[in-house]
Amino acid sequence: MSRTRHNWTKEQILDIYNTPLMELLYNAATIHRKHHDPNTVQVSTLLSIKTGGCPEDCGYCPQAARYHTNIEGNDLMTVQQVKAQALRAKSSGSSRVCMGAAWRNVKDGEEFDQVLEMVRTINKLDMEVCCTLGMITENQAQRLAEAGLYAYNHNLDSSEEYYKEVISTRGYEDRLETIDNVRKTNVTVCSGGIIGMGEKEEDRAGMLVALSTLNPQPESVPINALVAVEGTPLEDQKPVSIWDMVRMVATTRIVMPETQVRLSAGRTEMTREGQAMCFFAGANSIFAGDKLLTTPNPDVNADMEMFKLLGLNPQKPFIKKMQPETVEAQDSQYQSLGEKPKWSRPEHSIERNEEAKLKAKALK
Ligand code: SAM
Ligand code: DTB
Ligand code: SF4
């Protein structure tokens, strides 16, 4: 029987976050060892299957069309291109491919059918398949499940209060609804957030309350350190300190003992010693590959050297949960309903970075 708690309060989580560091590390590492093999780290490879031109206004995101960043946009990749990249990832030790699309939400139609075919193709390579495509309806989640999807990533990003400062084109409740839609299927939930966006410690704790009180808790929680990209409203944010990252990882581990805690964006700014502390504090997953979605990530060889140095082993696929079966398109029991997710429009107060926008325009 699981003794996982689902009633953490913000005060309790803040207390954990602010525990003297050696004690925090010891407590987190002790819990980590009870639930996981401390020498195994799950490795995922990100693949941006549709890049840039996103209509949303997430203040951290280089792919939001309105911020005029210098990224190269791309239409949806072909199934063959995706298969080639997945094989590459598999040969370099990844057990999971996570496909990201710069969409506000999934729209039923040809492009979604193509994504479903990508899911089938990667599942047949005996790799775990994850997608992060924005908001999805229950029917779309079912169709992804039927194609063989292993996980769906949809982040809460911050506390409910701070979220409103960063994103105005959809609300926290929209995010929770998508997570709920995924939960109704046998696809696992991957949901976490970003630190270093100017939020307070209370917001970090607030995000962990929102995630840890989900029942069941997400199977995977990515902790991203903001990658401050020129042209976005958050371009001037100072890099997050490694001590904050370690505290956030350790606290996540303590309040969500069984989840896979993923060291996500921001690893290029972290030393090996810093990352080792995060693994000790309970991180047991990373994104590998020279690129995240649009920004740099440590070199794969450097990561493998780090693994060797620390005695870490990449986790094999389907250790935590059985491989889903793939149902072919023609045998599907679901039809496209042409549904649109409902969404709300909260207020948002981070100022648009007009100056950066003009500068980027002048460079074109
Ligand atoms: N469009 C989809 C969505 O928003 O759900 C999927 C892709 S989106 C890029 C996935 C996640 O990447 C975001 O929720 C955010 O947590 C993270 N992310 C995006 N830009 C980031 C940045 N500059 N630094 C750190 N994390 C970032
Ligand atoms: C997540 O939490 N982090 C990943 C993944 N889920 C999709 C994305 C990080 C993106 C960082 C900015 C970029 O490369 O565009
Ligand atoms: Fe679009 Fe996702 Fe970026 Fe938000 S985070 S702007 S939804 S790609």
Q: What is the pLDDT of residue 255?
A: 98
Judge whether residue 344 has pLDDT over 80: no
pLDDT for 86-135, tens place per residue?
999 999 999 999 999 999 999 999 999 999 999 999 999 999 999 999 99
Domain boundaries, the chain: 10-318+340-363
Residue 186 tokens, joined: 């046998």
Rounded Cα distance between 212 and 210, Å, is: 6
Predicted confidence band of residue 335 (pLDDT cuts 50, 70, 90)? confident
Tokens of 338: 């042409």
Whether ligand 3 lies within 6 angstroms of the CB of 63 is answered as yes
* Residue 278 a catalytic site member: no
To the query of whether residue 58 is one of the catalytic residues in this protein, the response is yes
Indicate the range of 75-79, 148-152, 231-235, 336-340 predicted with least confidence. 336-340
Q: How many CA atoms lie within 13 A of 324 on its CB side?
A: 25
Q: What is the spatial distance between Cα 13 and Cα 148, in angstroms, rounded to a whole number?
A: 36
Task: State the residue for tokens 């648009």.
Answer: 352
Helix axes 21-35, 242-255, angle to 10 degrees: 40
- Tell me which of 205-209, 277-281, 315-319, 352-356 is least confident: 352-356
CA angle at 356 for the pair 353 and 357, rounded to the nearest 5°: 80
What gap in Å lies between CA 359 and CA 335, rounded to an integer? 47
- CATH of region 10-318+340-363: 3.20.20.70
Tell me, using a 6 A CB cutoff, whether residue 153 lines ligand 2. yes
Q: For residue 202, what is the enclosing H or E element?
A: helix 201-212
Distance CA 193, CA 221 (A): 8
134 in contact with ligand 2, CB cutoff 6 A = no
Cα separation of 348 and 364, whole Å? 28
Share of the chain above pLDDT 70, in %: 93
Mean pLDDT of the 13-17 span: 98
Whether 237 and 228 have beta carbons less than 8 Å apart is answered as yes
Distance 58 CA to ligand 1 centre (A): 8
Closest by CA to 203, choosing from 213, 193, 212, is 193
Q: What is the pTM of this model?
A: 0.94
CB-based pocket (< 6 A), ligand 1:
60-61, 100, 102-103, 132, 134, 154-155, 157, 194, 224, 226-227, 229, 265, 293
pLDDT for 356: 47
How many angstroms does the Cα of residue 61 sit away from the middle of ligand 1?
Answer: 6
The residues that bridge with 48 in the sheet, in sequence order, are 100
The mean pLDDT of the chain is 93
By CB atoms closer than 10 A (0-12, 13-18, 19+), residue 236 is exposed
Residue 98 designated active-site: yes
Q: What is the pLDDT of residue 354?
A: 53
Rounded Cα distance between 156 and 166, Å, is 12
